[in-house]
Amino acid sequence: MWAKTSWREREALQQPDYEDAEAVRRTLAELSTRPPLVSVGEVERLRAALTEAALGQRFVLHGGDCAETFASCTEQALRSKLEVLLQMSLVLTYATRRPVVRIGRIAGQYAKPRSRATERVGEQELPSYRGDIINGAAATPEARRPDPTRMLEAYGHAAASLNFLRALIEGGFADLHHPQHWALELVSASPRRAAYERTMRAITDAIELMESIGASSQAALRRVELYTSHEALLLPWEEALTREREGHGHYNLSAHMLWLGYRTSQLDGSHVEYLRGLRNPVGIKVGGATEPAGLCALLARVDPSREPGRITLISRLGEAGVERGLPPLIRAVRDSGHRVLWSCDPMHGNTETTASGRKTRRMEAIFGELECTFAVHLGEGSRLGGVHFEMTGEDVTECLGGSLEVREADLHRSYETACDPRLNGSQALEMAFRIAELLRA
């Protein structure tokens, strides 16, 4: 029998060791009385949109920070992230001729799985940083001690972020007119300038045509939907924000969508147990160690009724791993009868470390994985229905390449991520243009 607490009877990987059990209990009791951040109606609307996506009628753009931090909950960071997500989605809408479903890794992406429980900093062996919802990033034993009251802070920051995003969207920020203003710098610097200009002109023409048709189409252009998501990692927090709706079931109302991380996808583990009982749509990361049979067993557990679009499989095989790794997975899933939505995260399989010790990712490898993933799906008679990025709206230098060429020597200039390297605003937009070229080819 599933209950929102039944994960507690399984092995839960990647959880912090809190010292003060009473403080944890108090925090969770308080969290569980807090109002939801999203509504059941919104979660159901996303479910319906993802069902359409699984049937090939929509494309999904999923993106945002690797790890949001409390300090990055600022007007500027949220505004620019929303701006870039909207710009990317407009380019993808143009390319696919289908409405794009936008899902942010935003307003709750505060917990990080770590490959090692501790890390060496200088002379000290410290507990790893696990995200602001758990401990602090500063390299001191005090900062790294898991603090349960951070869960309440995370709720507060998620609420403030989501409130601001909703206000921007309601206030007409989503007005997507005149794309020629937003990509000028990018386009003028790019060797692909002519192609980008063509795409932008086509989008501008289409918008002008819709404007000339009248008010209803203008309203449709201004009104956009943005859904929120995060990795369901810190299970006590997720449980406290899970609410039952009589006759409908259980919803995690801290976000519209949740995903199962690559490191916590054990069939009999706590994370799978927790996610299987929710009405929310669920993402599952799929990587090089995912076996076709194991993936099918996971699907049977999390999607027993085989509902189209309930599950989004997010492949993150790395540029070099797609050709060999993806076809057997696609075939096994198809034969299993689950109607999943396939998405691709071209970030996590393409991480490398530079000689000076920085984690980075190359635009060419990221795009290469996408290109290969589209081709493999096509070859298998399947369809890639979404993309998943780690990105920010800001001008960081964390990933290499792009038209405004970030080189290895530039990485130190603005390397701000709390965890993995993200595409900056112009790299993210350029990625959308390149996917558009691919989709239109």
In the complex, the residues that contact Mn ion under the rule CB under 5 A are 66, 420
The alpha-carbon radius of gyration of the chain (Å, integer) is 21
Residue 231 β-bridge partners = 259
Which of the stretches 5-13, 133-141, 256-264, 336-344 binds ligand PEP when contact is defined by CB under 6 A? 256-264
Pairing of strands 341-344, 384-390: parallel
Residue entry with tokens 């010292």: 19
Q: Which does 316 bind (CB under 5 to 8 A by kind): ligand PEP, Mn ion, none?
A: ligand PEP
Asked if 333 interacts with ligand PEP (CB under 6 A), we say: no
In terms of CB distance, is 95 or 418 closer to ligand PEP? 418
Other Cβ atoms closer than 10 A to 321:
17
Q: CB of residue 282 vs ligand PEP: minimum separation in angstroms? A: 14
Distance CA 425, CA 441 (A): 24
Q: CB of residue 106 vs ligand PEP: minimum separation in angstroms? A: 13
In terms of CB distance, is 162 or 313 closer to ligand PEP? 313
In terms of CB distance, is 112 or 150 closer to Mn ion? 112
Closest of 43, 6, 92 to residue 309, by C-alpha: 43
- Report the Cα 393 to chain-centroid distance in Å: 14
Asked if 262 interacts with ligand PEP (CB under 6 A), we say: yes
Which of the stretches 239-247, 257-265, 371-379, 424-432 binds ligand PEP when contact is defined by CB under 6 A? 257-265
Asked if 308 interacts with ligand PEP (CB under 6 A), we say: no
Q: Residue 282 in contact with residue 20, Cβ under 8 Å?
A: no
Distance CA 373, CA 354 (A): 26
Cα separation of the two ends of the chain = 49
Distance CA 87, CA 427 (A): 12
Pairing of strands 100-105, 59-64: parallel
Asked if 113 interacts with ligand PEP (CB under 6 A), we say: yes
Asked if 230 interacts with ligand PEP (CB under 6 A), we say: no
Asked if 261 interacts with ligand PEP (CB under 6 A), we say: yes
Give, to the nearest 10 degrees, the angle between helix 425-440 and helix 363-379.
30
Instruction: Report the 3 state secondary structure along 219-242.
Output: HHHHCCCCEEEEECCCHHHHHHCE
Residues in CB range of 425: below 8 A, 6 or more apart? 80, 83, 84, 391, 392, 393, 394, 395
Q: How large is the greatest C-alpha to C-alpha distance in the chain, in angstroms?
A: 68
In terms of CB distance, is 171 or 357 closer to Mn ion? 357
Q: Which 345-384 residues touch ligand PEP, going by CB under 6 A?
A: 348
Which of the stretches 6-14, 25-33, 169-177, 255-263 binds ligand PEP when contact is defined by CB under 6 A? 255-263
In terms of CB distance, is 164 or 415 closer to Mn ion? 415
In terms of CB distance, is 113 or 277 closer to ligand PEP? 113
- Binding to ligand PEP by CB under 6 A, coded x per residue (else -) over 29-68, reads -------------------------------------x--
Asked if 285 interacts with ligand PEP (CB under 6 A), we say: yes
Which of the stretches 30-38, 183-191, 259-267, 392-400 binds ligand PEP when contact is defined by CB under 6 A? 259-267
**Interface residues with ligand PEP (CB under 6 A)?**
66, 113, 231, 261-263, 285, 316, 348
